[in-house]
Structure 1
Amino acid sequence: MKKFWIISELFHPDEVSTGYVMTRLAQKLSHEVDIGVICGPIHDLKILTSKDKLEDEIQVLRTGFRISGSKKLPVRLFNIFFLCIAISMKVLIHTRKGDKVIMVTNPPILVPFLSFLKKIKNFELNIIVHDVFPENAIAVGILKKSSIISKFLKFLYNKSYQTSKKLVVVGEDMLDVFKEKIGDREIPMKVITNWADHLQIYPLPNQSISSYYNKNLDDKVVLQFAGNIGRVQGLEQLFDLMIKVNNQNFSIMMIGNGAFQPLLYQKKLDHDLDHIHFCGEKPRDEQITFLNACHISIITLHQGMFGLGVPSKVYNVLAAGKPILYLGDRDSEISRYIKEYDVGWSFSWEQEDEIIQFFEDLSLEFLPKFGVKGKNSRRLAEEKFNESLILDTYSNFLQN
């Protein structure tokens, strides 16, 4: 009997988006097929409790190699490389001919590793694409587009993707990118988005925003950025625009952590951006509370990230019934949601004057308009981004 294997750096009880998605997929498949998981060690031991146990039918094999918490890029690359070797060794040992391997592109270095192992072990390789490397590294300036390294990596990854049996991408814009990457290969591809936890995350209309942050914000429009404060988000450009805005009617609450937080915090101090507040990281089980602690949710992607990723947080923002302010490439996945379903506002980074004017005009008198878009957000989460429907789509596509 063929065995299914899920390969991911992160897995239960880690609740970072990729870990959560792959855990729920494993739980879904475990009721239908023989399944095992090969993953990295538990990232945050503090979240492991006696109740955090998966069903007995899921075999979980973890590597012993642990990634350090360093934010320095060379150290992170070194750690990820050796983690991928450790995961690959377990794949080499435990998979058999004909097994179905389902991997997610995190960490990205794992893609060519498993593509190579597929030729040795003759398993079926199915890839769930959350991030597109090396194009995302080129977009944020880590790699130069014209460099020999970039060209080699694009060739290597395109060839690796072309060895897959099936490909899952998380957006229509990403599908366009992959049609070009795989060329004339007849590989089944399907857009399967992430989902909203709409039963656990929902609007809390009576929640006090001021009480949550322990600040007097009653006379402010409160915008919130929640998530990784890293390179691909393009937040430095947002902060540069805030320097040009003259409006005391709003505040921005930054929830999360990441490599760019020190730089952004220094920019806040240097330019007296007193209306921007850094609130630190929040645990996943507090999502319903902190996602409701705003009037508008900010979602950003660095310029040039079209088709290279969809922030998974967007779905629970919709579930919380919040309108979205999206700043990123034109016609990207989130921009399409906003235009098609009227769940917020979308600007490209080139629309600098329009973005500044949007912030200049923010006022509590527009709360009714925010409410209409928020109701549209909640409806979209319930009807289109339903977890049960999306996991069924995954199961049908990967098994058939």
Structure 2
Amino acid sequence: MRSDRSGGPHEPRRGPGQRRRLVLLCEHFYPEMVSTGMHMTELATRLAEHGWDLTVYTARPSWWSERTAGDRVPREMTYAGVRIRRVPTVGSQRGGAASKALAGLSFVLSAAAALVRHPRFDGMIVTTNPPFVGLLGWLSSRLLRRPYLFIVYDVFPEFAISLGALPADSPVARAWHRLTRLILSGAAVIVVIGRDMEDLIRRKLPERLHERIVLIPNWSDERRVRPVPREENPFRREHGLEGRFVVQYAGRLGEKHNIEPLVEAAALLRDTHVLFQFVGDGAKRPRLERLATRLGLANVTFLPYQPLDRLAETLSAADLAVVCLETGHTGISVPSKAYGVMAAGRPILGILDPDGEIGQMVKETGCGVLVEPDAEEIARTIRSLMEDGEALAAMGEAGRRAFLERYTLAHAAAAYDAALRSMLRS
């Protein structure tokens, strides 16, 4: 890539009314509708409706529910008005730490090569998935003078340090801190997804750059997720949930999610009709399955990720939906599955820091209850809520109201559209 200030071959040229061209870099995208992949797919397709011409560079799916079909996903395709180009990678996000690191690094290198081959775009959207991909935004801004909007989903290297994967005082950590500040400082717009995260990012930047930070919470798609009455919900029928009080965790079973106390609480509730249902996959799933087996729990079930067109049914099947995050990750990550739960009108059982973004939101809206990651406290809270249907209904309704007011995909897409237009104007 090279700088071209004089309108040379790398300079985008547009006729009257031509749409502005954006590049989106993210490792996970359609049909990998999991975590960041779902959010980026929803955002990109909705921005296309706002008139943006988007090209996405992504990897082949690792977490797609039809796992064996990953290699059959076309290398290039168009989905809902968004052009998708898959770059080659080695390693896998389903493997160990070394395999994941290799997959992330190879994605960054392959995406860089792709941008060299296709340098005609007006601006870029970059996420923190995988780490270091933001460096391509920084290089683009310096060599091609294309601005980039940087979405912070996880703060690095704090994320790796909090998992115990990296010593806080190591040379690698210090170098990573400097690289993160470089990427943040070069961004025309920095999007954070929580107030606690905004505080952390502000501390990384000089005060003169704070005006570049924009808080845009994550969302759920209001067109896709809605409350499904339990008596009309085929998911409950198919999985034999009639007569059960379903405590559901739906999403990534990752290292940052303190789910073990939930399984331990199931052992304390064997005498009830509570069923603990885990829907999803991730690094912790085998350990949780072994724990449930060791404790002899017949009231715990595990299901794979469900098809996206069944998301409303799946989330609505819960009587109480769990949202959790290790306390050490407060401000570093935001458990955005809360917004889908609110869209489905289900009450939240929050096992997370009350001062984190989702903890604050639960307290402000009254959409759920917060507990410590302690099996006995969790079990007591569930026993109490099982006997209080009015409180559960009120929390679910409060969450649905707050969702429609603040946390829809429409709200988020409008905010991103405004930020991008401001970025390109300046």
Per the normalisation by structure 1, the TM-score is 0.88
Choose which of 221, 225, 236 in structure 2 pairs with 1:201. Answer: 225
Kindly provide the amino acid, as one letter, of the partner of residue 153 in structure 1: W
Distance 1:34 1:265 in 2: 44
* TM-superposition CA deviations, 1:99-132 (whole Å, max 9, x none): 3111111112312344345333332121011122
Instruction: State how 1:242-391 maps to structure 2 within 5 Å.
Output: 242-243=266-267, 248-349=272-373, 354-363=377-386, 365-391=387-413
Paired residue for 1:90? 114
Kindly provide the amino acid, as one letter, of the partner of residue 411 in structure 2: L
* TM-superposition CA deviations, 1:194-225 (whole Å, max 9, x none): 2222232222222467523225x51x421000
Q: Is the 8 A contact 1:198 1:316 kept in 2?
A: no
Shift of 1:354: 3.8
Distance 2:163 2:261 in 1: 12
User: Aligned pair in 2 of structure 1 residues 247, 133: CA closer, same or farther (>3 Å)?
Assistant: farther
Shift of 1:185: 4.0
User: Aligned pair in 2 of structure 1 residues 246, 40: CA closer, same or farther (>3 Å)?
Assistant: closer
Kindly provide the amino acid, as one letter, of the partner of residue 355 in structure 1: I
User: Aligned pair in 2 of structure 1 residues 373, 335: CA closer, same or farther (>3 Å)?
Assistant: same
Shift of 1:302: 1.3
Shift of 1:11: 2.5
Shift of 1:90: 1.5
Distance 2:261 2:133 in 1: 31
Kindly provide the amino acid, as one letter, of the partner of residue 268 in structure 1: A
Whether 1:6 aligns to 2:24 is yes
Whether 1:118 aligns to 2:136 is no
Q: Is the 8 A contact 1:305 1:329 kept in 2?
A: no
* Superposed CA RMSD: 2.6
Distance 1:333 1:120 in 2: 36
Distance 1:293 1:316 in 2: 13
Instruction: State how 1:165-176 maps to structure 2 within 5 Å.
Output: 165-176=188-199
Distance 2:157 2:271 in 1: 39
Q: Secondary structure at the match of 1:190?
A: strand
Shift of 1:40: 2.2
Whether 1:38 aligns to 2:57 is yes
* TM-superposition CA deviations, 1:119-171 (whole Å, max 9, x none): 33332121011122221222222223233332332232122212111101111
Q: Is the 8 A contact 2:262 2:375 kept in 1?
A: no
Choose which of 161, 170, 173 in structure 2 pairs with 1:150. Answer: 173
Kindly provide the amino acid, as one letter, of the partner of residue 301 in structure 1: L
Identity %: 26
User: Aligned pair in 2 of structure 1 residues 327, 210: CA closer, same or farther (>3 Å)?
Assistant: same
Paired residue for 1:135? 158
Distance 2:385 2:100 in 1: 40
Shift of 1:385: 1.5
User: Aligned pair in 2 of structure 1 residues 385, 210: CA closer, same or farther (>3 Å)?
Assistant: closer
Paired residue for 1:213? 239
User: Aligned pair in 2 of structure 1 residues 224, 341: CA closer, same or farther (>3 Å)?
Assistant: same
Instruction: State how 1:202-241 maps to structure 2 within 5 Å.
Output: 202-205=226-229, 206-207=231-232, 211-214=237-240, 217-218=242-243, 220-240=244-264
Shift of 1:324: 0.3
Distance 2:407 2:361 in 1: 11
Shift of 1:67: 4.8
Q: Which sections of structure 2, spanning at least 5 residues, go unmatched?
A: 1-12, 14-19
Q: Is the 8 A contact 1:222 1:250 kept in 2?
A: yes
Kindly provide the amino acid, as one letter, of the partner of residue 285 in structure 1: D
Distance 1:201 1:127 in 2: 27
Shift of 1:18: 2.2
Distance 2:304 2:42 in 1: 27
Q: Is the 8 A contact 2:263 2:300 kept in 1?
A: no
Q: Which sections of structure 1, spanning at least 5 residues, go unmatched?
A: none
Q: Is the 8 A contact 1:4 1:35 kept in 2?
A: yes
Whether 1:21 aligns to 2:25 is no
Q: Secondary structure at the match of 2:179?
A: helix
Distance 1:125 1:373 in 2: 39
Distance 2:302 2:100 in 1: 24
Kindly provide the amino acid, as one letter, of the partner of residue 250 in structure 2: A
Q: Is the 8 A contact 2:266 2:300 kept in 1?
A: no
Paired residue for 2:3? none
Kindly provide the amino acid, as one letter, of the partner of residue 125 in structure 2: I
User: Aligned pair in 2 of structure 1 residues 66, 145: CA closer, same or farther (>3 Å)?
Assistant: closer
Shift of 1:189: 1.0
Paired residue for 1:103? 126
Distance 1:94 1:32 in 2: 21
Q: Secondary structure at the match of 1:14?
A: coil
Q: Secondary structure at the match of 1:79?
A: helix
Q: Secondary structure at the match of 2:333?
A: coil
Q: Is the 8 A contact 1:169 1:192 kept in 2?
A: yes
